[in-house]
Chains A and B, each alone.
Chain A
Amino acid sequence: MKKFAKISAGILAVVLSSLMLLPGCAKNETSGSAAEQKNGSSPKKEIVLNFLTYRTGQNVGAKYFLPSVDRFNKKYAGQYKVAVQEIVQDSYDDKIKQLAQVNKLPTLMDGMHDTVWLRNYVIKNKKSYDLKDWLDKNPDIKKLCIKDSLNYCTVDGRVVIMPLIVSSPSVSYYNSKMYKPSKAIRDMTPDEFLSSLGNNKIAFMTGENAWTTQLLYSALIANQPGGADTLEKHTDNKLTDFNNDIFINATTQLQKYLQKAASSNTVGAAYADADNSLLSKQSAVIFNGPWMFADFDESSKDKWSNDFNGTDMSVDLFPGNVAINNNNAFGGYWISNSASDEQKEVALEFLKFVSSSHEVEQQVLIAGGFAPNLEYSEDFKKEAKSNKLLTLYTNAFNKDTKQVPGFDDVVYPSVAQPGFPNLLPDLISNKMTPKAFCEKLTELSKQAENQ
């Protein structure tokens, strides 16, 4: 019995110790099977690309992206397959950074917000696949890329991230049954717009990254003399000094807006609360990107209340003929340089597919925006004509429109969130003056810079 107990104990100890070594063995197994595939032991096998993306589920991008993936899989059935793996957008950057730290970057990745990390790690260490040759071999795709974006994504002669083809500036939306402006919002000054609102409210927010509030703040900055230039200059070198007239005046105007025209749930409101405020007619105006079109479609009717009707919605730019858009960003797809040739092959084919005229047109029709270098097909023009919001959106822009980066593009991440949103309640309640607000922003930015 004693002997049996000793043997059992021995086996248990060995098993437990072996378990500790299993993760290492698992890695070898994976590489083994990958090597097998590479050696061409099953050449006719469909190549599967696992794509970790946030454009799934309730995400606004899912409406055009998932059908696009389906079309790709149908077209290349038996040859290539893109298998979508879901992740929430807020966690995307963190997840990719974690995978990068353990040298397990997925083959294909979505656009990321953290340009500092992309520059310091991905680009500096050449972790992304150079798309230059591929773009040169596909001039029809290169032609579609937005020039500013192509320039920005080209670092030391390498195209490190897929440049943007579709531009999606954020604008103003209003319920035309509740708010009837005497002239186009883009032709008003910020003060005129505020007084034209009457008793109508704007769906602002101070929760999360205060997105809708941040958009108006960006537009107010762009309306100050030198404001647009300031925003454009700081997408890479983040702003650290807000103690000047541009920001103090913009903050003074923002305070007026927040005190006079903010919806009742503004303080603490997350995006869902702001959205709900508009869709329940508690507010008449909201600021957002063209992806919001989907909320005004009949298919989103279950979100509407108090007789809200999506067909009542209208679009215009921000006062002062401003739209918020940043082409100096790494917003497009990118491919890991360490992926196998086979995986890169599918990724490039997928990029080619989603950059085709038809897919780009589908994206614009569903999620709005423009493809400035694309000659739209007749079918598209016909369909776009019947899409009232898309037509209004497109027509709102003219040659004098100033497209400027948003506030969150020009400040350190911790200033954009939680810094800026956390200061707003005190600005609204007058506990903080606009000057003190700017001083605090400066302090937070300097702190982020010196960390």
Chain B
Amino acid sequence: MKSLTAKQKNLIWIWAFLLPCILVLLLFYLVPILTLVYTSFTKWDGANAPVFTGLTNYMNLFKANDFKAAFINLLLWSALAGTVHVFFGTLIALILFKEPHGWKFVETVFMIPNVISMAAWAMIYRFVFNGSYGLLNGIIRIFVPGFAVNWLFQSPYAFWAVTLTWIFYAVVVTLLVLGDLKAIPTDLHEAARIDGANEFYITMKINLPLCRNSIGTSVICAISSRISMYETIALTTRGGPGNDTMNIPLILVNAINNSKYGYANAAGMVMLLLGIILLVIVNKAFRMNESIY
């Protein structure tokens, strides 16, 4: 038998190592995604065979008032996530990078929410925002006796109450940016100082531009988390009052509860497409494919 060449042997090894990953990708990602795409064009109760209905699910989805409300909410939340949320996480990273007195303690405290599940987090906020005995109203009542706002269940406060559950919880952003900051060669900072640059100038002209990729990644993470945000809303407002805090994952789950899997998967497809569009836009805006150094 003819022996294999070194290149052929290499190829076999490459495929042997790739096989588990390819199988995982096929079984757990590609097949479900293809099922999602196909069934989004069908009427399907999840039990009997799907019946092809063309674009009906998408037409119904785009006509539905709760989808319109969810889309507007998503735009607002995305704008807040991509600006305020990322700005706050970056600011903390910049502060921690300077290693001021007590920075290790602050870093630890800031990371704590990361070990609390979203479900527990949502329950904590239910107590914080409770209209009768909530922490927030308790504090406000010290200054404004008789103050009565039911933050999670009253328009227009509910939207902002839900927003407050995540907007300052920017651990991922901080970790990503801090990692990039620590990778900046120290001689760049030294050279800038010799040239007379102050700390603000160094931050604006050296640190932030060199963290472009991590900030871009943070924007992607922050906005995609808003697209898929479910637990926080499901455990607090359930999309209410009215449609004030409605979002697409909630529409998807409601459709599943009605055994309308085709419609639910159309909502899932919209989420997937929004995620892809987000990736393309942020990649372009932050020039993430270009080398920084």
Stretch at the interface among A25-33, A289-297, A442-450: A442-450
- Complex contact B260–A451 (CB within 8 A): yes
Per-residue CB contact flags for chain B residues 247-281 toward chain A (1 = under 8 Å, else 0) read 00010001101111011000000000000000000
Per-residue CB contact flags for chain B residues 229-242 toward chain A (1 = under 8 Å, else 0) read 00000000111111
Per-residue CB contact flags for chain A residues 397-439 toward chain B (1 = under 8 Å, else 0) read 0000000000000001110011001110110010110000000
- Count of A residues near B, CB < 8 Å? 44
- Complex contact B132–A414 (CB within 8 A): no
Chain B residue contacts of A426, Cβ below 8 A: 155, 241-242
Complex interface residues of chain A between 112 and 128 (CB less than 8 A to chain B): 114, 116-117, 120-121, 124-125
B163 touches A (CB below 8 Å): no
A1 touches B (CB below 8 Å): no
Given contacts A9-B17, A10-B16, contact A114 B24 (CB under 8 A): no
Question: How many angstroms between the C-alpha atoms of A124 and B152 in the bound complex?
Answer: 42
Chain A residue contacts of B131, Cβ below 8 A: 265, 267-268
Per-residue CB contact flags for chain B residues 131-148 toward chain A (1 = under 8 Å, else 0) read 110000000000000000
Q: Which of A17, A206, A448 contacts B258 (CB 8 A)?
A: A448
Complex interface residues of chain A between 9 and 24 (CB less than 8 A to chain B): 9-10, 13-14, 16-17, 19-20
Complex interface residues of chain A between 248 and 290 (CB less than 8 A to chain B): 264-265, 267-268
- Complex contact B238–A268 (CB within 8 A): no
Question: How many angstroms between the C-alpha atoms of A114 and B260 in the bound complex?
Answer: 13
> What DSSP secondary structure best describes chain B's contact surface?
loop
Stretch at the interface among B41-49, B170-178, B208-216: B41-49
Q: How far does the Cβ of B29 sit from chain A's closest Cβ, in whole Å?
A: 14
Question: How many angstroms between the C-alpha atoms of A110 and B148 in the bound complex?
Answer: 43
Stretch at the interface among B58-66, B191-199, B283-291: B58-66
- Complex contact B47–A447 (CB within 8 A): no
Interface centre among B60, B130, B242, B258 (most CB of A within 10 A): B258
- Complex contact A117–B47 (CB within 8 A): yes
- Complex contact B258–A412 (CB within 8 A): yes
Question: How many angstroms between the C-alpha atoms of A431 and B26 in the bound complex?
Answer: 50
Complex interface residues of chain B between 1 and 56 (CB less than 8 A to chain A): 13, 16-17, 19-20, 23-24, 27, 45-48
- Complex contact A9–B13 (CB within 8 A): yes
Question: How many angstroms between the C-alpha atoms of A9 and B16 in the bound complex?
Answer: 9
- Complex contact A451–B255 (CB within 8 A): yes
- Complex contact B240–A20 (CB within 8 A): no
Per-residue CB contact flags for chain A residues 19-53 toward chain B (1 = under 8 Å, else 0) read 11000000000000000000000000000000000
Chain A residue contacts of B24, Cβ below 8 A: 20
- Complex contact A13–B16 (CB within 8 A): yes
B154 touches A (CB below 8 Å): yes
- Complex contact B254–A17 (CB within 8 A): no
Q: Which of B48, B64, B240, B258 contacts A413 (CB 8 A)?
A: B258
A374 touches B (CB below 8 Å): no
A132 touches B (CB below 8 Å): no
Please give me the residue from chain A that is nearest to B56 by CB atom: A450
Interface centre among A114, A117, A206, A414 (most CB of B within 10 A): A414
B159 touches A (CB below 8 Å): no
Please give me the residue from chain B that is nearest to A443 by CB atom: B65
Question: How many angstroms between the C-alpha atoms of A114 and B152 in the bound complex?
Answer: 29
- Complex contact B240–A421 (CB within 8 A): yes
Please give me the residue from chain B that is nearest to A17 by CB atom: B19
B228 touches A (CB below 8 Å): no
A237 touches B (CB below 8 Å): no
A100 touches B (CB below 8 Å): yes
Given contacts A13-B20, A121-B45, A418-B254, contact A429 B154 (CB under 8 A): yes
> What DSSP secondary structure best describes chain A's contact surface?
helix
Question: How many angstroms between the C-alpha atoms of A267 and B236 in the bound complex?
Answer: 12
Chain B residue contacts of A444, Cβ below 8 A: 66
Question: How many angstroms between the C-alpha atoms of A233 and B155 in the bound complex?
Answer: 36
Question: How many angstroms between the C-alpha atoms of A274 and B254 in the bound complex?
Answer: 25
Q: How far does the Cβ of A61 sit from chain B's closest Cβ, in whole Å?
A: 22
A101 touches B (CB below 8 Å): yes
Q: Which of B45, B239, B260 contacts A422 (CB 8 A)?
A: B239
Chain B residue contacts of A20, Cβ below 8 A: 20, 23-24, 27
Chain B residue contacts of A13, Cβ below 8 A: 13, 16-17, 19-20
Q: How far does the Cβ of A249 sit from chain B's closest Cβ, in whole Å?
A: 22
Question: How many angstroms between the C-alpha atoms of A116 and B240 in the bound complex?
Answer: 25
Chain A residue contacts of B20, Cβ below 8 A: 13, 16-17, 19-20
B225 touches A (CB below 8 Å): no
Given contacts A9-B17, A418-B254, A421-B240, contact A116 B259 (CB under 8 A): yes
Complex interface residues of chain A between 79 and 124 (CB less than 8 A to chain B): 97, 100-101, 114, 116-117, 120-121, 124
Complex interface residues of chain A between 199 and 219 (CB less than 8 A to chain B): 206
Q: Which of A9, A117, A268, A412 contacts B152 (CB 8 A)?
A: A268
Question: How many angstroms between the C-alpha atoms of A421 and B46 in the bound complex?
Answer: 26
B87 touches A (CB below 8 Å): no
Q: How far does the Cβ of A381 sit from chain B's closest Cβ, in whole Å?
A: 43
- Complex contact B241–A101 (CB within 8 A): no
Q: Which of B27, B60, B64, B150 contacts A268 (CB 8 A)?
A: B150
Name 25 A/B residue pairs within 8 A (Cβ), A-sorted. A9-B16, A10-B16, A17-B16, A17-B20, A19-B20, A20-B27, A117-B45, A124-B48, A264-B132, A265-B130, A267-B150, A267-B154, A413-B258, A414-B254, A414-B255, A417-B238, A418-B240, A422-B240, A440-B242, A443-B65, A447-B64, A447-B65, A448-B258, A451-B57, A451-B258
Give me 18 other A-B pairs in contact (C-beta within 8 A), A13-B16, A19-B20, A417-B238 excluded: A9-B13, A10-B16, A13-B17, A13-B19, A20-B23, A116-B258, A120-B45, A120-B47, A124-B47, A265-B132, A267-B131, A413-B257, A414-B255, A414-B258, A422-B243, A447-B60, A447-B66, A451-B255
**Chain A to chain B: the 3 pairs with minimum beta-carbon distance, closest first:** A422-B240, A121-B47, A451-B260
